[in-house]
C-alpha cells in the first residue's frame, strides 16, 4: 500500500524500533529516516539497516527548504520526532514548543503541499491524569487536559493535526500511546535509568511516594499498532494504544531490583516531579475491535527481563550518555 515512507525521529527510541519493525515485517517498503540527532537521537540505532532499503537524512523538521526536498518523494509520513522527556521540559520548555508544536506545523504544511498521508505519534499524557481509585481509563472521547509542558506541547500538535484534516482535508491519523519500554530507550527515562544505575553501582531513584501508575507497553507492540493504524486506520481518527500494563513505579522498581539480584529496598526516595501525573490508563478497545490489533508482549516481567539483558549487553550504547544524564539530574536533585 505504501512503498516509500518518511519516518521523522527514526533515530530515537520508539522511532528506531518502528524502523526495525517495518524493515523486519515489510522489507519491500523503502524508509527515509529524517532526524536532527539531538542528545536523544543515535544513528547507531538504525546503522545495521542503512543501505537495506533504509536511508538517513540528517536534518530538522523545522527546516522548510529541507522538507521541500525530502517530502515529495514519499507516500506517507510517520511523525515520531519530538522532545520527549518531562523532566527536561520542566527545566526548559522552549525546545518542546519549537520541535513538538512548530515542527509538527512545518511537517503538516509540507504534507499538505505535496498531499502526503500523515500519521502523528502522540501520547496518552494529552488526557492529563486519573486518580488512583478512579475505575476509568482513557478513551478516544476523553477530554484533552494536559498538565505538563511536555504534554501540553503534544496536545497542541494533536490539535494542529486534527485541524489540518478538517480544514484542508489532509489524510491524517493520530495514535496516543502509553509508556513504552524496550531496547534503545534513553537512560534519562525511568526503566533504563534504574537498570543502568544498578549496573553502575548507583542507587536507583524513585520520585515522590512511588505510587504513580504508568500503563506499560512494549515498543514492538507500539510499532505493530502504528503500522495497523497507518495502513488501515480511518482518516481523521485517533486511536489509543495500550496493553493493559498498569503498574505503579514502586512495583516496577522492585521488579528491576529483584531481576538484577538486589534487595527490594536498595533504592533512594527522591524529590517528586512538579505536577507529577498520578495515573495513566488506556482503554484500547477501538484499536482492538476496529483494526483487530493485539499486543504480543503480554508478560511485562518477561519483557522487562529481556530489556535488562539488553542494557547489560549493550553498555557501549548507553555509556556515553549516562554521566551527563546523571549530572543533569543532580542539578535538579531528582
Q: Which does 66 bind (CB under 5 to 8 A by kind): ligand TDX, ligand NAD, none?
A: none
- Concerning whether 109 is annotated as a catalytic residue, the answer is no
Binding mask 116-145 for ligand TDX (x = CB under 6 A): -------x-x--------------------
Binding mask 79-118 for ligand NAD (x = CB under 6 A): -xxx-x--------------x---x---------------
Residue span binding ligand NAD (CB under 6 A) among the ranges 30-38, 223-231, 295-303, 317-325: 30-38
Q: Which does 206 bind (CB under 5 to 8 A by kind): ligand NAD, ligand TDX, none?
A: ligand TDX
Residue span binding ligand TDX (CB under 6 A) among the ranges 64-72, 108-116, 162-170, 206-214: 206-214
- The answer to whether 148 touches 125, Cβ cutoff 8 Å, is yes
- The answer to whether 123 touches 151, Cβ cutoff 8 Å, is yes
Burial of 199 (0-12, 13-18, 19+ CB in 10 A): middle
- Concerning whether 125 is annotated as a catalytic residue, the answer is yes
Q: Which one of the listed residues 125, 188, 246, 277 is annotated catalytic?
A: 125
- DSSP readout, 254-302? HHHHHHTT--TT-SEEEPPPTT---B--B--HHHHHHS----S---HHH
User: 117 or 189, CB closer to ligand NAD?
Assistant: 189
Rounded Cα–Cα distance for residues 105 and 119 (Å): 13
Pairing relationship of beta strands 268-270 and 205-207 according to DSSP bridges:
parallel
3-state SS record for 178-210 = CCEECCCCCCCCHHHHHHHHHHHCCCCEEECCC
- Spell out the residues 6+ positions from residue 302 whose beta carbon is closer than 8 angstroms to its own: none
User: 165 or 189, CB closer to ligand TDX?
Assistant: 189
Rounded Cα–Cα distance for residues 305 and 40 (Å): 23
- Spell out the residues 6+ positions from residue 319 whose beta carbon is closer than 8 angstroms to its own: none
Q: Please select the residue that binds ligand NAD; options are 121, 174, 282, 308, rule is CB under 6 A.
A: 121
Q: Please select the residue that binds ligand TDX; options are 117, 120, 137, 189, rule is CB under 6 A.
A: 189
Q: Please select the residue that binds ligand NAD; options are 117, 119, 137, 154, rule is CB under 6 A.
A: 154
Residue span binding ligand NAD (CB under 6 A) among the ranges 139-147, 160-168, 173-181, 316-324: 173-181
Q: Which one of the listed residues 35, 60, 83, 124 is annotated catalytic?
A: 124
Cα–Cα distances in angstroms (integers) from residue 182 to residues 18, 78, 162, 221, 252, in the given order: 12, 20, 30, 10, 14
- Concerning whether 124 is annotated as a catalytic residue, the answer is yes
Q: Which does 41 bind (CB under 5 to 8 A by kind): ligand TDX, ligand NAD, none?
A: ligand NAD
List residues binding ligand TDX (CB under 6 A): 84-86, 123, 125, 179, 189-190, 193, 205-207, 212, 214, 249, 273
Amino acid at each position: 500500500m505504501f512503498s516509500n515512507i518518511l519516518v521523522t525521529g527514526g533515530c530515537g527510541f520508539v522511532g528506531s524500533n518502528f524502523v526495525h519493525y517495518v524493515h523486519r515485517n515489510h522489507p519491500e517498503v523503502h524508509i527515509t529516516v529524517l532526524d536532527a540527532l539531538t542528545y536523544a537521537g543515535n544513528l547507531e540505532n538504525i546503522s545495521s539497516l542503512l543501505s537495506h532499503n533504509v536511508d538517513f537524512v540528517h536534518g530538522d523538521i523545522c527546516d522548510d527548504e529541507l522538507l521541500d526536498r525530502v517530502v515529495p518523494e514519499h507516500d506517507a509520513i510517520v511523525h515520531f520526532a519530538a522532545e520527549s522527556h518531562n523532566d527536561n521540559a520542566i527545566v526548559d520548555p522552549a525546545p518542546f514548543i519549537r520541535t513538538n508544536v512548530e515542527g509538527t506545523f512545518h511537517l503538516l504544511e509540507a504534507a499538505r503541499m505535496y498531499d502526503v498521508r500523515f500519521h502523528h505519534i502522540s501520547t496518552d499524557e494529552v488526557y492529563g491524569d486519573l486518580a488512583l481509585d478512579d475505575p476509568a481509563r482513557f478513551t478516544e472521547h476523553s477530554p484533552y487536559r494536559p498538565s505538563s509542558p511536555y504534554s501540553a506541547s503534544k496536545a497542541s500538535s494533536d490539535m494542529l493535526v486534527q485541524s489540518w484534516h478538517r480544514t484542508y482535508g489532509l489524510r491524517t491519523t493520530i495514535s496516543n500511546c502509553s509508556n513504552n519500554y524496550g531496547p534503545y530507550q534513553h537512560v534519562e527515562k525511568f526503566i533504563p535509568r534504574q537498570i543502568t544505575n544498578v549496573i553502575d553501582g548507583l542507587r536507583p531513584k524513585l520520585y515522590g511516594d512511588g505510587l504513580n501508575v504508568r500503563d506499560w507497553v512494549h515498543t514492538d507492540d507500539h510499532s505493530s499498532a502504528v503500522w495497523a493504524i497507518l495502513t488501515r486506520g480511518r482518516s481523521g481518527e485517533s486511536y489509543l494504544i495500550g496493553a493493559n500494563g498498569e503498574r505503579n513505579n514502586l512495583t516496577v522498581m522492585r521488579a528491576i531490583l529483584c531481576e538484577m539480584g538486589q534487595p527490594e529496598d536498595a533504592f533512594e526516595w527522591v524529590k517528586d516531579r512538579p505536577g507529577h501525573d498520578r495515573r495513566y490508563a488506556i482503554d484500547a478497545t477501538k484499536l482492538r475491535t476496529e483494526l483487530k490489533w493485539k499486543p504480543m508482549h503480554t508478560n511485562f516481567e518477561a519483557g522487562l527481563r529481556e530489556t535488562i539483558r539488553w542494557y547489560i549487553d549493550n553498555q557501549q550504547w548507553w555509556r556515553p550518555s549516562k554521566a551527563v544524564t546523571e549530572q543533569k539530574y543532580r542539578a535538579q536533585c531528582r
